[in-house]
């Protein structure tokens, strides 16, 4: 069996195009389910490789199948949508793009979660793996998933017949950039990311002119009370040793200065590591929401809709035990133990559909000097830009190299001759 | 001197076009500062009368001057913008229009405040007054004001040189439809509408991914606390015998399910009948807003901007004493004593600029049977649609007749030979 | 008919004992239903007059009947209980007394509402009226009522057979000291004081150790949410032109540092001038309280008990029209028009029981210079100590003289020959 | 070296008096710093043993020194104060006692934390150890600590010269009963109980009559806002993976129905496992408290006083490694691994003062059948009475036996020949 680290070391592939490709994606972020341009750029790049490409799966989803004789099938996934965040990095290729949300809101856009890097890295891995055909056999699937941010893209691809377009993978991989020394590969068995659900809540009040509050049932007041009272759930109802997060991502009520609106809308995002906590949390949220509506005499109960379900990302110990030594080989001191992130991902919906074991790892993206200074001063939380912030920008060189090679390494762990 | 009631009775003017004109405006509502179509329709109608028309004053403002020899100058104003309210009346000419707010939000639109009726009535009054030139002398100014809903249109016309376009009026009038027996003219001396200001508040938090609230300063939570705590001002700080209203017209924070936003925005609307109460109220609001920002450790104080100032609408007792007997003459039992509304208007900015005394009256718009039933059952507040509600619709026939004739009556009180 | 002002002027009665009596009461305040010492002092003083005294009516209530031949019957009432307020006046006769509330709480006590002054004045009036028997005929009843502060004393006397102890009065009077130029008598027809009710609310939570909030239903959090949400009722549900006050007089939850208690208790006090507003207010309060209990998952609904009902104090226009000219005669420029106070009293329960018309007036108690300065600087609210404050102390001389003479004047308006 | 399990098995000591002693203590609970009767009962019992007793250390603290020749010194501590909790167990020896808190509040009392059991067990251990003198040598110190509930008793004994009354112990022990299968001994190295501090907060408002809220600064409203806003700290500011508890143990504001008080008082209890989290938590609490005072315009900042400091109870791994095998020997399957409790104790102040390593363990007190049913149904949190609840009552027989023998076992681990 070939040594994966040696294969990577010995490959002589020019991936210098990655920088221009990455910066182009970064300059042109697109919202979930609207990633037409990005998908086109990916598909265009894939024409340079010896693979079968299917586009338009579950919206803008793309799969590229690299067949190379008998052997196992390994899938690596990258996501490619962006966020309604205003970029503040100040780099020359910073985004000034705007987009329109589903709700009709015009907003600035940014690749504030690093999906541009994930996609660039997976395309680089395609180049390497395509060039290394003599060293491996089996099937490599590069899967480019849209709409990760709204938690719907993975299921959209599954529901749009993904299984008709690719063979069942024997193993699946995904990675995510984030705070950490740039180029560090952080992996672990078991839970890596939290389970999450989003909850859309519409509060039914009664509109009136702002000067006549007594004719209204003010949904803005109800919504504010709910936001305030939700804080009591984590602090009062969840065992202090357990993990639970309730975040209000959107609170929208009214759009004039002098009309009390008829409705208010809240969008919550909840995270847990445990099904019982999750059940209790959602019961408490529904209890609080409906009781606050009653307290104001709302004419109808709130509409509560769960969406964007992200399951627990729960790494297979077996896959971890095979891949980790290869990471250690390839990355040396830059292969480290990860700790669970509180964030969530819908990646695992794909291997879950195929009953395939999987590994998800994190890639540090913070310039090393900045990271070390923050660690030394115990100011990581305060000083290091994190995903979804307007100043989050991976340190390009070490991050693209590590994330490209990590994808190659994980895939070849299973496919190398 | 002619008897005004007789002039009106004896006039033989066909204003049957009012219905189609009204329904057309109703079907095509336009937001403040975007009333191009409405202004064009008004200007087009004015070409049928013997008057000098100036358009485009302070945006879409229009004045029509009817000169008729020596004599005093009387001004009557109508407003013509609409609201971001979804119509639920179900009438054939109901609005399905949408518009885009200044903030970029796409929204349904409706003439939910009856400005379409005001405009139709004033144009009808133009027809009557133009046809009755033998009965009066002096100058009649019909002023069509845009952007009343954001409280900016009157000052926009003033600041755009209104005084260069019209002679100084000796008296000014305006009217507003609302809940009440259709066709009833409600007038009073002294305060008729409250003073009001709007306050735009931007809260500076710190964004982060929804799973990492500890990296954020959550502006949604701060905004909710402010909404909740503002309630304590009216109940705890304003003397219980005094009048004050604080309404949150807009609360907007975030637009995703999983990002804690960097900023939240509140728009308040406040009403008072008394300058000292107003001063104390605004001091309390600023105190609460900034303290709540401090409580969450916001990186900067909130930005607080006052806008849309509506002064007290304070009817001249002298004008009232001249016009009221004429109303009694013309409307009989339908001329009644009004009581102050808690709402506000920017109309008085215009006579204030010219130091002109003025009278503002209300016109009942509720179908008589519906009104009487609600009064009998003591369910006016519960059952009668009010301005800014999606089901507010004047009872056309009695309302248009009364509001047209009231305009004629008030103007001729001053101009009749 | 004698001129009342002349009678008062011509009387030569030594009431210099009033100061020592007043200071003694002031030094020895007693809580509602515990006024044994005060009642004993009153009864002792009454022995000096020619009257029939009955004690122990409705607890510590006392009536003294001064019979003087044929004629109408006039009743004047004074109250004599004190408050759990800590005195901060610093005067030599300031109270350092403590008492134990019904709930078992040991607290500092103070005559912070001026009942010591009311009682001293009524005893002084007894002295005058007793000495002036030649000038009047009929029956004078001096009624000393306990337990006004908890709103229960008047009904306690009525229910304990007051009607068996006194003849039906033809007119009834009461007075109250408060902010205003010392010695000024403020009277008005119609509503003088608000209707009020107190509401005792017990919230049922579930106790646990403070380190295990998830095992509890935290009643302190529920109580706090209720206090916060009650603020929304006045500001959002009561028409802005109407009067309503909701005050939380007591919030008591827990008494350790590390146990979440099983129950919390709130005592509210609500005031209105209008029965429909009152009904809506109480419905809203019950709605809010029970919904907040539901929001936290309380094991049982809150117990809500109304108590201490104070009816509207609604002065008889007929009595006012007889007494006001006499006040004007006696007090000259110090007899002025009053405006309604937001406070409440249970006095009117007594005349209500006998279907007797009544007059209630206010007596200014603020040193004149302090009052005039505050008025001139528009700082009455900020600078003038008000009833129930620890620094409230009537300006003795002008206040005792005016309140004594006002009692005499009102009674003699009906009884003078 | 003797086998400790054998010593215990072979001892023939009659401790049947324990039941009556325990029930007597249970029937007569006393508050912290008021434990005179309990201390007298302990001292009386100690006269039956061959030991030197010193009483009155740090209030009601007692030490009994059992000297037995050369050898190490082992200290075992029991606490003996009770709580202001109303007992609901319904047992014949249930408490009906009342007491008066430091604040003057009269309250029902209960041994709701099981200190009566701790004391009974330690006295039983004294009997065993005294009877087993032939099997051990060295010094055994039985320390009976008052005032654990307010977190002040251990430091009170230390500050009152404990070191002058006992030799420095080489090892120290304590135990606590709680939920768990009765008789189970739960031990662990490292953190066993959280660090905790209590915070007394006095809010300075401005008093007024309840009908005049605008003359007040309502401290009850401020206190409620603080309780509500504190909830946002754990949910928004503490990393979701970290442990922090903020509980409001007391909220006291006002004691009448119609006076807005001048002050409100909050007592918080906060727990953490980590110094940095603790620092951030207290900063956030102070920030919230003072900002809420500012938001209401309080005349002065809140007074914030920290008290009742409980350090982390952090078991010595060395002591654990020696004692745990002995527990396994003595208790078999009833010696199990513990997990940290979120509660706190001041026990460790004593060994900390002597720089002595220590072990603290928990003793299950729930009837076995009840425990097993709750575990099977996953309803431990819902169904098992926990410390500080009015229905918490150890299952006497297995609990007293296990806690007595655990004390003997731990001490003899160090002292047995």
Assign residue B138 the CATH number of its domain.
Answer: 3.40.630.10
Distance, in angstroms, between D303 CA and closest chain B CA?
A: 17
d(CA B302, CA B230): 15
Let me know whether C394 and C345 are in one domain.
yes
The model's pLDDT over A110-127, given as tens digits with 9 standing for 90+, comes to 999 999 999 999 999 999
Q: Which chains touch C (3 or more CB pairs under 8 A)?
A: A, B, D
Cα separation, C311 vs C295, whole angstroms: 34
Q: Report how many domains make up chain A.
A: 2
Residue C109 half-sphere exposure toward CB, CA atoms < 13 A: 21
Residues B262 and B404 in one domain: no
CB atoms under 10 Å from CB of A363, counted, come to 29
Do C70 and C181 fall into the same domain?
A: yes
Whether residues A238 and C284 touch (CB distance < 8 A) is answered with no
Please indicate, yes or no, whether residues C180 and C216 belong to a single structural domain of this protein: no
Name the residue among B101, B226, B245 with its Cβ closest to that of A255: B101
CA distance C77 to C351: 10
Looking at residue B105, the DSSP 8-state letter turns out to be B
Asked if residue C343 lies in contact with residue C193, where contact means CB atoms within 8 angstroms, the answer is yes
Q: Does D295 touch chain B (CB under 8 A)?
A: yes
Nearest C-alpha of chain D: how many angstroms from A367? 23
Q: Is A165 annotated as a binding residue?
A: no
Is D113 annotated to bind ligand? yes
Q: Cα separation of B310 and B346, whole Å? A: 5
- Tell whether C89 and C59 lie within a shared domain: yes
Q: Would the CB atoms of A252 and B253 count as touching at under 8 Å?
A: yes
Partner D contacted by A224 (CB < 8 A):
no
Task: Give the end of a domain, one of D309, D340, D359.
Answer: D309
Reading the block at residue D365, the tokens are: 């007190």
Looking at the fold, whether A227 and A160 belong to one and the same domain comes out as no
Choose, out of C243, C251, C272, C288, the residue to mutate when testing the contact with D (most D CBs < 10 Å): C251
Contact at 8 Å (CB) between D89 and D96? no
List of chain A residues whose C-beta atoms are within 8 Å of the C-beta of residue C284: 297
User: Using CB atoms and an 8 Å cut-off, which of residues 73-132 of chain C contact chain D?
Assistant: 83-86, 101, 103-107, 112-113
C155 and C16 inside one domain = yes
A31: its two tokens:
């919202």
What would the two tokens of residue C48 be?
């000096």
* Residues D61, D142 share a domain: yes
Distance from CA of A254 to the nearest CA of B (A): 4
- Say whether residue D276 is in contact with chain A using an 8 A CB cutoff: yes
Question: B interface mutation test: which of C188, C240, C378 has the most B CBs within 10 A?
Answer: C240
Compute the distance between CA of residue C413 and CA of residue C171 in angstroms, rounded to an integer.
10
CB contact under 8 A, A292 and C295: yes
- Asked whether C412 and C1 are in contact (CB, 8 A), the reply is no
Residue identified by tokens 């095998």 is D325
> Per residue in A266-289, is it b (16+ CB within 10 Å) or e — as a string?
bbbbbbbbbeebbebbbebbebbb
Stretch D162-190: mean pLDDT, rounded? 97
Average of per-residue pLDDT across D249-263 = 91
Q: What is the ipTM of this complex?
A: 0.72
Q: Enumerate the β-bridge partners of residue C105.
A: D105
Per-residue pLDDT of chain C (417 residues; tens, 9 = 90+): 568 999 999 888 999 999 999 999 999 999 999 999 999 999 999 999 999 999 999 999 999 999 999 999 999 999 999 999 999 999 999 999 999 987 777 899 999 999 999 999 999 999 999 999 999 999 999 999 999 998 899 999 999 999 999 999 999 999 999 999 999 999 999 889 999 999 999 999 999 888 889 989 999 999 999 999 999 999 899 988 888 999 999 999 998 888 899 999 999 999 998 788 999 999 999 999 999 999 999 999 999 999 888 888 999 999 999 999 999 999 999 999 998 888 889 999 999 999 999 999 999 999 999 999 999 988 887 789 989 889 999 999 999 999 999 999 999 999 999
Q: What is the CATH number of the domain that holds B216?
A: 3.30.70.360
Q: What is the DSSP string of B287-355?
A: HHHHHHHHHTT-SSPPEEEEEEEE--EEE-HHHHHHHHHHHHHHHGGGEEE---BS---STTHHHHHHT
Instruction: Output the pLDDT for position D2.
Output: 64
Record: contact B388-A257, CB cut-off 8 A:
no
* C-alpha closest to that of C220 among C296, C334, C327, C135: C296
Whole-angstrom Cα distance, residue A278 to residue B169? Answer: 69
Cβ of B180: how many Cβ atoms within 10 Å? 22
Helices D36-46, D17-27: axis angle to 10 degrees equals: 170
Residues D298 and D385 in one domain: no
Residues 350-389 (B) with a CB less than 8 A from some CB of C: 378, 381
pLDDT at B280: 94
- Report pTM: 0.78
**Residue owning tokens 């200074």:** A373
> Where is the domain boundary, A309, A335, A360?
A309
In angstroms, the separation between the Cα of residue D287 and the nearest Cα of chain B is 6
CB A354 within 8 A of CB A162: no
Shortest Cα–Cα distance, A294 to chain D (Å): 19
**DSSP of C115-181:** HHHHHHHHHHHHHHHHHTGGGB-EEEEEEEE--TTTT-HHHHHHHTTHHHHSPPPSEEEEEEEEEEE
D192-to-C179, C210, C261, D317, D348 alpha-carbon distances in Å: 60, 17, 25, 12, 11
Instruction: State how far the Cα of C199 lies from the Cα of C303, in Å rounded to an integer.
Output: 10
- Chains B, C: CB pairs < 8 Å: 48
State both tokens at D341: 């409790």
* Distance in angstroms (rounded) separating the CA atoms of residues C365 and C394: 5
| C-alpha span between C241 and A246 (Å, rounded) | 40
Q: Same domain, yes or no, for C155 and C287? A: no
Is D213–B229 a contact, with Cβ atoms under 8 angstroms apart?
Answer: no
Does residue A252 sit in the same domain as residue A139? no
Among B270, B293, B309, which residue terminates a domain?
A: B309
- Give the per-residue SS3 of B125-177: HHHHHHHCHHHECEEEEEEEECCCCCCCHHHHHHHCCHHHHCCCCCEEEEEEE
Q: Do C271 and B240 touch (CB under 8 A)?
A: yes
C-alpha span between B351 and B343 (Å, rounded): 19
Ordered per-residue pLDDT tens for chain B, 417 residues: 568 999 999 888 999 999 999 999 999 999 999 999 999 999 999 999 999 999 999 999 999 999 999 999 999 999 999 999 999 999 999 999 999 987 777 899 999 999 999 999 999 999 999 999 999 999 999 999 999 998 899 999 999 999 999 999 999 999 999 999 999 999 999 889 999 999 999 999 998 888 889 989 999 999 999 999 999 999 899 988 888 999 999 999 998 888 899 999 999 999 998 788 999 999 999 999 999 999 999 999 999 999 888 888 999 999 999 999 999 999 999 999 998 888 889 999 999 999 999 999 999 999 999 999 999 988 887 789 989 889 999 999 999 999 999 999 999 999 999
CA atoms of B154 and B75, how far apart (whole Å): 14
Q: Are C414 and C170 in contact (CB under 8 A)?
A: yes
Nearest-angstrom CA–CA distance, A289 and A52: 50
Give, as one character, the DSSP assignment of residue D399.
Answer: H
Q: Which spans in C307-348 are helix H? A: 317-331
Q: Residue C57 sits in which domain range? A: 2-193+312-415
Question: Are residues D359 and D238 located together in one domain of the fold?
Answer: no
Residue of A nearest to B178 (CA): A209
Distances (CA, A) of B319 to B171, B331, B358, C59: 8, 18, 6, 63
**Is some CB atom of chain A closer than 8 A to the CB atom of D249?**
no
- Give phi and psi for C79, each to the nearest 5: -110, 160
């Amino acid at each position: 069996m070939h040594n994966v680290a040696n294969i990577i070391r010995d490959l002589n592939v020019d991936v210098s195009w990655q920088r221009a490709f990455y910066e182009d994606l970064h300059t042109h972020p697109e919202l979930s389910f609207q990633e037409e341009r990005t998908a086109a750029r990916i598909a265009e790049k894939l024409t340079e490789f010896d693979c079968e490409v299917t586009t338009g799966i579950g919206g803008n989803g793309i799969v590229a199948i690299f067949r190379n004789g008998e052997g196992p099938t390994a899938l690596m996934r990258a996501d490619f949508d962006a966020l309604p965040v205003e970029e503040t990095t100040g780099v020359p290729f910073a985004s000034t793009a705007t987009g329109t949300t589903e709700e009709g809101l015009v907003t600035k856009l940014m690749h504030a979660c690093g999906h541009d890097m994930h996609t660039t890295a997976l395309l680089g891995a395609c180049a390497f793996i395509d060039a290394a055909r003599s060293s491996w056999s089996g099937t490599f699937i590069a899967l480019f998933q849209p709409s990760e941010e709204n938690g719907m893209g993975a299921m959209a691809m599954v529901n749009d017949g993904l299984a008709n377009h690719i063979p069942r993978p024997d193993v699946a991989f995904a990675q995510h950039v984030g705070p950490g020394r740039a180029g560090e590969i952080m992996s672990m068995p078991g839970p890596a990311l939290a389970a999450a659900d989003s909850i859309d809540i519409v509060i039914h009040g009664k509109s009136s002119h702002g000067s006549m509050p007594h004719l209204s049932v003010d949904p803005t007041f109800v919504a504010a009370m709910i936001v305030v009272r939700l804080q009591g759930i984590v602090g009062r109802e969840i065992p202090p040793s357990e993990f639970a997060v309730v975040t209000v991502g959107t609170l929208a009520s009214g759009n004039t200065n002098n009309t009390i609106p008829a409705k208010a809308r809240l969008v919550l995002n909840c995270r847990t590591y445990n099904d019982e906590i999750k059940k209790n949390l959602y019961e408490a949220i529904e209890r609080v929401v409906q009781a606050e509506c009653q307290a104001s005499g709302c004419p109808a109960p709130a509409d509560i809709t769960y969406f964007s379900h992200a399951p627990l990302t729960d790494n297979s110990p077996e896959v971890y035990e095979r891949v980790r030594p290869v990471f250690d080989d390839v990355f040396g001191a830059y292969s480290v133990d990860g700790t669970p992130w509180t964030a969530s991902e819908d990646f695992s919906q794909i291997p879950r559909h195929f009953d395939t074991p999987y590994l998800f790892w994190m890639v540090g993206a913070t310039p090393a000097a900045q990271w070390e200074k923050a660690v030394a001063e115990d100011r990581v939380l305060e000083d290091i830009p994190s995903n979804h912030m307007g100043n989050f920008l991976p340190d390009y060189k070490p991050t693209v190299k590590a994330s490209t090679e990590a994808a190659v390494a994980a895939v070849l762990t299973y496919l190398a001759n």
